[in-house]
A and B are shown apart, each in its own frame.
Chain A
Amino acid sequence: MSLTAIGLGLIIIGAGYGISRLAGSALESMARQPEISSKIQTAMIIAAALIEGVALFAIVVALMKG
């Protein structure tokens, strides 16, 4: 159980870092080029969904194991 919890914590750190980097860069580029912000937003959501997918996959595996 405790190992599973540590694993889950690591997943959250990784995914959180990834999504925060992504959101930060997306906001920066939106501020620089507001005219294409909708395109940047779509790309951001796709990438965020992919990162989130990996995190959720790991969480499901962790829940099934422990």
Chain B
Amino acid sequence: MRHIKQILLLIAIFFSLSTTYASDEHASESEEVFDPLVMIDHHIADSHEWHVISFTKSNGEEVHISMPLPVIVFYNGHLNIFMSSAFHHGEKVVKKGDDYFKLYHEKIYVTDEAGTIHYDEDHNVLNEKPWDFSITKNVGSMFLSAVLLLLLFIGAARRYGSEPKAPKGLQSFLEPLILFVRDDIGIAQIGKEKYERYMPYLLTVFFFIWINNLIGLVPFFPGGSNLTGNISVTMFLAIVTFLITNINGTKSYWGHIFWMPGVPVPIRILLSGIEFIGILTKPFALMIRLMANITAGHIIILSLFSLIFVMKSVAIAPVSILMSLMMFMLELLVAALQAYIFTLLSALFIGMAVHEEEH
């Protein structure tokens, strides 16, 4: 019963969040032509500053409040560190040493003193790019989720002291989840003998993806970044799964890839090619699945909100808000489901790799 209460509380929080967001959006109706694609692109992309709120004053002046984030660029053997507020939203050129940097469409380019951007025929930017190690919105959000996870789990883990006690508070919410990952994912896919080694990774991946999906759904300031919908993040997670799978691969795993037992030699050669591609497509599919699912969810919710401004009518607002509310609820499910699927498939691949043949 306790869990149900906690889950209901969580759901209630999300209800209140999504409606606040809707009324915020509604209040900032502007006169200029509204392009939903630009808005959606801006919301799902990474950014060098963390947008907090925009509003129009009574005298018609537009106010954008955003949190500047540190920019770390490496160019020509120099490491330059400054705050992204120095760019003035891309209007100003930043001089560091002999180099000039300009923020153009959320990417940093090396320019001359006037900040000229060169293009080729297809309107691609020709300017050189420095190595960009900045703490962007996504990185900031990842730090936030890391701190949250540490607080949650260190707090809960403290209670597992020398003498066993009945679970209490946060612990009683986390324990069933951890047991679920262990029993239904770890033991079920990898097997009783070997699952223990891989539990730290599976648990980390599960909770990291889940909490970041949820933070991505929070529609205002410290949330709302599309972290698990960013291909670099999901690629890294997929690469880790790929490495764990192949480093721990047993003799029979590699044998089944390069010299499939029990089939004629020509087919063995054919199969080894197919199986080799299979090693690479598995993490690739993991990467695409998570990224596309989360990004698609964000796009759908934002499109539903855009309906109000595209139709320019208050009458459509209740419909739009109701529909996006339903999408939010579905996304809450998808957030957990995608974390589950990523962890489940990782465990499945690891289980296939560490499986010993019984003769």
Contacts and interface: CB of A to CB of B under 8 A. Distances in A.
Interface of A: 38, 42, 45-46, 49-50, 52-54, 56-57, 59-60
B303 interface: no
Contacts, number: 35
Contacts of A54: 285
B288 A56 contact: yes
A56 B344 contact: no
Contacts of B291: 60
Nearest to A48: B341
Contacts of B188: 42
A50 B348 contact: no
A50 B349 CA distance: 13
Q: Which size bracket describes the interface of B in this complex?
A: 10 to 19
Nearest to A39: B188
Nearest to A63: B292
Given A50-B285, A56-B293, A59-B292, A45 B184 contact: no
B345 interface: yes
Contacts of A38: 184
Contacts of A60: 288, 291-292
Contacts of B129: none
A49 B343 CA distance: 12
B341 A45 contact: yes
A53 B296 CA distance: 13
Contacts of B340: 45
Contacts of B296: 56, 59
Contacts of B289: 49, 52-53, 56
Given A42-B344, A59-B296, A60-B292, 5 more contacts: A42-B184, A45-B340, A53-B285, A54-B285, A56-B292
A53 to B, nearest CB: 4
A51 to B, nearest CB: 11
